[in-house]
Structure 1
Amino acid sequence: MSFDVQIVVDSSSPHALADWWAEALGWQVEPQDEAFIRRMVGAGAAAESDTTTHRGALVWKVGAAIVSPEPGRPRVLFQLVPEAKTVKNRLHLDVRVGSERTEEEVARLVGLGARELWRGQQGPYAWVTLADPEGNEFCVT
């Protein structure tokens, strides 16, 4: 038996971080059903404090997800947490663009707000480690 996975990233501002990663990867922010949210609040199944407004739309405060335009890729959920990131990630994403595009993509991502942390190489494999706007490390390879 095999299982599907979802990648979850803790965040202090999940909707803004989902927007950033959607732009970084060329993915889409998964739409949230505003009418459903209003029905849940109206029925007492959720509180108004469980919601927020992002880009003019009512959304769940707890998080936002991005999805690939290509089927079969895992969904990435950005989940609201109260604490800020304080130590290095134990798990990170590798954005695989190919060695011929690495420098171009690093420059583009830094232009979007990423920060370059370091460069590494092992044998023929090289990568650049960046941090997203909330400090989560990821590699471009």
Structure 2
Amino acid sequence: MACRISELVLGCREPEVLSRFWCEVLDFVELGREEDGSIEIGPREGFGGAQPTLFLSRREEPEPGKPRLHIDVNATDRDQEEELERLLKLGARPADIGQTGEESWHVLMDPEGNEFCLLKTRLNPL
């Protein structure tokens, strides 16, 4: 195993409303908040556990032609740069969504153009 899904990122207008809803549905707790109003929720053990977290990313409107949900993955048996190289060889392509270059993650597209992110932290394979 080389990657695990660590978070699902959902673009939404009202993270607070969705946070309350999904916390009740999934028995999750709030794990953190961003300055822009985005909220991360997940199991009580937090990020990196057996279940992925749900990151409710504040967006006024969905971007045309872009899904509201994308996957974040973390390497489990190598560092981020080695995993990036492996993913590119498998057919992933870098995606430019306006990053500054200072991010700790890489934005990629799968072979059909679906965006996903490779995060920095290595997780246990479970």
Same fold (TM over 0.5): no
The two structures have a TM-score, normalised by structure 2, of 0.41
Whose Rg is larger?
A: 1
Higher share in helix: 1
